[in-house]
Structure 1
Amino acid sequence: MINTLTKAFLFSLIGFASSLQAQAPTAQGNAQLSASLPAYSKIYSEQSDPFKDAAAAIRSATSSNRNVLIEIGGNWCTWCHKIDAFLEQNPDIYQALHANFVLLKVSVSDANENEAFMKGLPPVLGYPHMYVSTAQGKVLLSKDTAEFLRSGSYSREQWLNFIDEWQFANNDSNLAKQKKIKNKNNTSD
């Protein structure tokens, strides 16, 4: 009787552990997700038309109730590669990012500064630089990615807080905050 109970307990424990493992984000999950992403979410391309890519990203964001995360950088950008490596090493953050945002990578380089596209955005402070946009094209945030750093490395906590704060579900409160700041700045002039 005890032997039967022990076996039943062990089988249920193994089943529980397997279900937890299946639910936990993994590098394999990253690879599967990455395979389904459009090129503009994975690479910086000097040949890409950022206006076409942005239109596609906005369509995707609209149909999936997500915001667009515009990442400005390039293949020359060391910190851009560090973000990619950080996300690869943190599958939960990578998957949360793509669950809540359509990532649009826009290349800027000596060969192609994408000036016309960049004119429509607030100034870049450094590279990589990020903007959060609604699916309607309203820029909610302009962010220097140095703010994600802690002790010289990208911070899990900073990334998770960013994803949580700037996701689609918070657009109304973020737009209200933005409007309040704008009104305050207009009255102080």
Structure 2
Amino acid sequence: MKKLLLLFAVLFISVAAFSQTNSVGVHIYNPSANAQADIKTAVAKAKKEKKHVLIQVGGNWCSWCIAFHNLVDSTATLKKFINANFETVLVNYSKENKNEDVLASLGYPQRFGFPVFLVLDGNGKVLHIQNSSDLETDEIGSNGKKKVGHNVEKIINFLNGWTFKAVDPGTYKIE
């Protein structure tokens, strides 16, 4: 009986410690940010620079959101592509601030889970809402199981279809 109690105690402590390491110290999303103002600023800048706005909705509690953010930060080609073609905004969704009014105005993208990505044009119109599960890797690890994470090529292919140039009718004029 003592061994069983000890086992449960160790298991409880391990789970508690693991869950804290996943969320403590992560400050990618700002629950107190004014998402509407951040989006408005990004839209104005995107319009001026002939770019679109890429919004990533998620939270510091979301391991997939953090993993995506870290993938962009650590992949130079992806980071360069995004910076060249988009103004980016991180919109927080957490118990502290769900940004419900903002997300309602954007078409309830949280219906796809987190992270979820939106592309807005220079007028603030939603052009596309992207479910991030479609961007996950199909790679199989050495253990024979599907690797966890997003695929850089899929991300760039998705974003490439939603750049300013890609949706500009002038791009497709025949002369």
Structure exhibiting the larger radius of gyration computed from Cα positions: 1
Cα-to-partner distance string for 1:13-72 (whole Å, 9 max, x where unaligned): xxxxxxxxxxxxxxxxxxxxxxxxxxxxx9411111111111110111011111001110
Which secondary structure does the structure 2 equivalent of 1:103 belong to?
strand
- 1:83-125 deviation line (CA, Å, top 9, x unaligned): 1221122111111111101111000111111111111122321
Does structure 1 residue 103 correspond to structure 2 residue 70? no
Aligned-partner SS, 2:30: coil
Within a 5 Å distance, the mapping from 1:51-66 to structure 2 comes to 51-66=36-51
Root-mean-square deviation over aligned CA pairs: 1.5
- Quick one: distance in 1 between partners of 2:73 and 2:37? 27
- Letter matched to residue 110 of structure 1: K
Select the residue among 57, 60, 80 that pairs with 2:65.
Answer: 80
Taking the aligned partners of 2:39 and 2:149, their CA distance within structure 1 comes to 29
Which runs of at least 4 in structure 1 moved beyond 2 Å after TM superposition? Answer: none
Alignment of 1:7-156 (within 5 A): 43-123=28-108, 124=110, 125-151=112-138, 152-156=148-152
Query: Which residue matches 2:12?
Result: none
Alpha carbons 2:119, 2:126 under 8 Å: kept: yes
Aligned to 2:156: 160
| Aligned amino acid, residue 99 of structure 2 | N
Partner amino acid for 1:105? L
Extract unaligned runs of 5+ from structure 1.
1-41, 174-189
TM-score (ref. length: structure 2): 0.71
How far off is 1:76 after superposition? 0.9
1:184 is matched with none
Q: Is the 8 A contact 2:55 2:88 kept in 1?
A: yes
Secondary structure of residue in 2 paired with 1:137:
coil
Equivalent residue pairs, number: 132
| Stretch deviating more after TM superposition (90-99 or 146-155) | 146-155
Seen in structure 2, the aligned counterparts of structure 1 residues 60 and 43 have a Cα distance that, compared at 3 Å, is: farther
Structure 2 gaps of 5+ residues are 1-26, 139-147, 170-175
Separation (CA, whole Å) in 2 of partners of 1:163 and 1:119: 23
The amino acid across from 2:52 in the alignment is: N
TM-score normalised by length of structure 1: 0.66
